[in-house]
């Protein structure tokens, strides 16, 4: 079984099982192919913390049993309305690069841009992101609760994996019950890319990869949000990477945002291929990493695979 066929079969199997009644599940490849040592788990947030009542889309966990025990963890945060399964091509490639990969489910609606579009406070987007990530009650614009925060969801997922699969050493990504950020690379698309960037500003992560984000802005002249103008923060600039499509609606704003964050120009990929499918109002925006719109090579693989490898690093 090929690696692509394995992941497709594993995800199809997950879709046929009710996540609300089944504990953390896994699927493994067979034979002696590259997929033979790869494992996929689907875990709903509520399975890891019974207090979580909303946004219970399953977390997707992919890894290779043959990877070194020191493998970094890649945590991917989808865009508004998205899910980890929607970027499984990218996550699979990350596993091939030596990562363990998690597509994390979180409260991704309403979108930050939608919440703050008419708010006169330039700091609105930063406050919303802070509450959604860390769980601190800093704004009335959203009603996210502490247990629903990205940090709590990630910590509880890692704790559950450590409990259910002790031989796999998921606890190495935790410290005092919280994510051990220096062993974690954080990535995301659209709203999720902004979340990844906000985390990297405030925690020293192993790497940050932002697809088509952050686009937070204010005022009639679309100034980048104050939190973006604060620069790279705790994570050194040489660990920041980004990508966007030259034809997506927010391309000019994204270029200014990456510059404000001091992402090295050599670390930003400006993509240019036509989307495989015209999805939504801005298919170029979705095509940079989403399975459905990503352009394809002749063999059916993602045409941006080399760009993704660059962003992920060796």
Q: What is the pLDDT of residue 36?
A: 64
Say which CATH number the domain at 215 has.
3.40.50.1820
Q: Which residues contact 116 (CB under 8 A, 6 or more apart)?
A: 124, 125, 128, 141, 216, 218
What is the reported pTM?
0.90
Q: What is the pLDDT of residues 36-69, one digit of tens each?
A: 699 999 999 999 999 999 999 999 999 999 988 7
CB 79 within 8 A of CB 191: yes
Q: What is the pLDDT of residue 303?
A: 98
Rounded to 5 degrees, φ, ψ at 97 are: -85, -5
Q: What is the pLDDT of residues 163-213, one digit of tens each?
A: 999 999 999 999 999 999 999 999 999 999 999 999 999 999 999 999 999
Q: What is the pLDDT of residue 69?
A: 78
How far apart are the C-alpha atoms of 276 and 255, rounded to whole Å?
A: 24
Helix (H, G, I), strand (E, B) or coil at 210: strand
Place of tokens 């008419």: 118
Q: What is the pLDDT of residue 117?
A: 86
Calculate what percentage of the chain has a pLDDT beyond 90.
85
Q: What is the pLDDT of residue 35?
A: 52
Q: What is the span of the domain harbouring residue 305?
A: 3-312
As for how many domains the chain has, the answer is 1
Neighbours of 306 (CB within 10 A): 12
**Residue ranges in the chain whose pLDDT is less than 70:** 1-36
How far apart are the C-alpha atoms of 132 and 169, rounded to whole Å?
A: 28
Helices within the chain (DSSP H only): 3-15, 45-48, 88-96, 112-116, 124-134, 150-164, 191-202, 226-229, 251-260, 283-287, 305-312
């Amino acid at each position: 079984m090929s690696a692509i066929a394995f992941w497709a079969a594993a995800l199809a199997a997950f879709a046929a099982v009710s996540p609300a009644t089944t504990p953390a599940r896994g699927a493994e490849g067979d034979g002696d192919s590259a997929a033979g040592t790869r494992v996929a788990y689907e875990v709903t947030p509520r399975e890891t913390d019974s207090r979580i009542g909303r946004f219970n889309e399953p977390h997707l966990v992919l890894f290779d049993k043959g990877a070194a025990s020191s493998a970094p963890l890649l945590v991917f945060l989808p865009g508004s309305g998205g899910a980890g399964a929607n970027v499984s091509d990218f996550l699979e490639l990350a596993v091939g690069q030596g990562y363990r990969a998690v597509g994390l489910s979180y409260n991704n609606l309403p979108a930050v841009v939608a919440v703050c579009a008419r708010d006169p406070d330039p700091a609105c987007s930063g406050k919303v992101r802070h509450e959604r990530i860390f769980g601190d009650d800093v704004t009335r614009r959203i009603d996210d609760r502490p247990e629903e925060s990205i940090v709590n969801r990630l910590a509880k997922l890692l704790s559950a994996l450590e409990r259910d699969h002790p031989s796999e050493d998921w606890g190495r990504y935790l410290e005092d019950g919280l994510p051990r950020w220096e062993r974690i690379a954080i990535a995301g698309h659209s709203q999720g890319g902004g979340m990844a960037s906000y985390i990297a500003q405030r925690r020293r992560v192993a790497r940050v990869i932002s697809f088509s984000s952050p686009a937070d802005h204010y005022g009639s002249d679309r100034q980048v949000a104050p939190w973006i103008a604060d620069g790279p923060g705790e994570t050194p600039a040489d660990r920041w990477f980004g990508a966007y499509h030259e034809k997506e609606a927010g391309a000019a704003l994204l270029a200014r945002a990456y510059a404000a964050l001091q992402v090295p120009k050599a670390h930003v990929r400006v993509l240019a291929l036509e989307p495989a499918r015209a999805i939504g109002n801005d298919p170029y925006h979705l095509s940079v990493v989403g399975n459905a719109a990503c352009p394809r090579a002749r063999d059916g693989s993602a045409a941006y695979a080399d760009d993704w490898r660059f962003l992920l690093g060796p």
